[in-house]
Amino acid sequence: MIHGMRIKDGKATYVSRYVKTSRLKQEEYFGGAKFMKIGDLKGLFGLLMVYMQQLRAKLKVLDLSYGHGTGNTALIYHHGKLLALSEGDKPYVLKVLEDGDLQTVGLLDYDKRLKHSFTAHPKVDPFTGEMFTFGYSHDPPYVTYRVISKDGFMHDPIPITVPAPIMMHDFAITENYAIFLDLPLYFTPKEMVKEGKLIFSFDETKKARFGVLPRYAKDDLLIRWFELPNCFIFHNANAWEEEDEVVLMTCRLENPDLDMVNGPIKKKLDNFKNELYEMRFNLKTGLATQKKLSESAVDFPRVNESYTGRKQRYVYGTTLDSIAKVTGIVKFDLHAAPEVGKAKIEVGGNVQGLYDLGPGRFGSEAIFVPRVPGITSEEDDGYLIFFVHDENTGKSAIHVLDAKSMSSDPVAVVELPHRVPYGFHAFFVTEEQLQEQAKF
């Protein structure tokens, strides 16, 4: 489900709508769940669920030809289309109607040129208008890279050679390169059955590998691989080039245990360690280095997306007390050094601001909205917009913060008519984009 708010002429309009995926339509027809979920893929039950879905597809009880995903992870806007994304499927096109309502248009396969899955985190270059994306699979090629032109044409697939099937949730671009994350969270169906684990398991004995490829390459022969200590990454903030180096700003996670977060989250995850890092890949020497920039736990990093692929100063993230409970919004200044000896994230050093939601209140990813689009104004001159739910009162609201001052007094608070469940990612659509997408 997508929850949206439109502010126009001083009035706020709220809407919540399911993405009308093929999966949802079929399950509505049957009156219950028929497709397997990632959380089902554990132990012998997981194997049974795989065989069950294969049998249902073979008997034509389920139709997988029009996708099987949920469209529930993230949103992106490109070539006049608002896309709902989940990494196991193709994108779904949405339309925002004049009254603020949301309508599902249908699956997007780029004139049948898209045959594989499509990440929930593609990157749009604000200077060229192109979109860069990838998909991963448990069958070779395990990773496939794509470039989509400004006018919406998807270029030929570029297989990226990695030694085993992995989960790659995110990647990054710079002005001239794409960065791929070969991290040791492996697709392991045998271990799922033998050891009763989830189908993705983390191998803490393997190094983390990062591949830097010229972003218009026709194959992966020019990719440069760099190694760093073992880790996993769900989300990157941004990347850019500095002389001979490619710089990646990311949230680095140690020893992820997906079993730990499978199902309802009822307690804090004391061993959940997620920190902001700077990683550098030297194209001249072939060496990689990394530097810790924060304490734990921070994730869902966002920047002023007018700087996507270019050097920027500020990173906004969410502070967490578990993998799904957002307790506040933090602003990092990359020009400042982190304070040493801190046990938690608090103001000082490179932490320029911290907006605490308060006891019993939890939020969502905060999206940065520039006051003036582009790079002519100050980078942090804008707003942070995010959902907040108060578990004490059962009420939800949208908060709008001053991204420059990070004042504890919000610019605006819009109370919502009912609870908004905790979700994944946020996105902002400009008025110009709304008018453009209405034409399609």
pLDDT in tens, 194-220: 888 888 899 999 999 999 999 999 999
Query: What is the pLDDT, as a whole number, of residue 409?
Result: 96
pLDDT at 261: 58
For 291-332, write each residue's pLDDT tens digit: 999 999 999 999 999 999 999 999 999 999 866 689 999 999
Model pLDDT, residue 266: 45
* Whether residue 264 has pLDDT greater than 90: no
Residues 238 and 201: beta-carbon distance below 8 Å = no
pLDDT tens, residue by residue, 403-412: 999 999 999 9
Cis peptide before 141 (omega within 30 of 0): yes
The answer on pLDDT for 424 being more than 50 is yes
User: Which pLDDT belongs to residue 216?
Assistant: 98
* pLDDT bucket at 192, cuts 50 / 70 / 90: confident
Which pLDDT band holds residue 429 (cuts at 50, 70, 90)?
A: very high
Choose among 288, 148, 285: nearest CA to 231.
288
Cis peptide before 297 (omega within 30 of 0): yes
Higher per-residue pLDDT: 269 or 374: 374
The yes-or-no verdict on residue 268 having pLDDT over 70 is no
Contact 125, 145 (CB under 8 A): no
Binned at pLDDT 50, 70 and 90, residue 229 comes out as: very high
Structure tokens at 392: 């004490």
Tell me the average pLDDT across 264-274.
Answer: 61
Q: If you average pLDDT over every residue of the chain, what do you get?
A: 93
The burial of 111, by beta-carbon neighbours within 10 Å (0-12 exposed, 13-18 middle, 19 or more buried), is given as exposed
Query: How deeply is 261 buried, as exposed, middle or buried, from its count of CB atoms within 10 A (0-12, 13-18, 19+)?
Result: middle
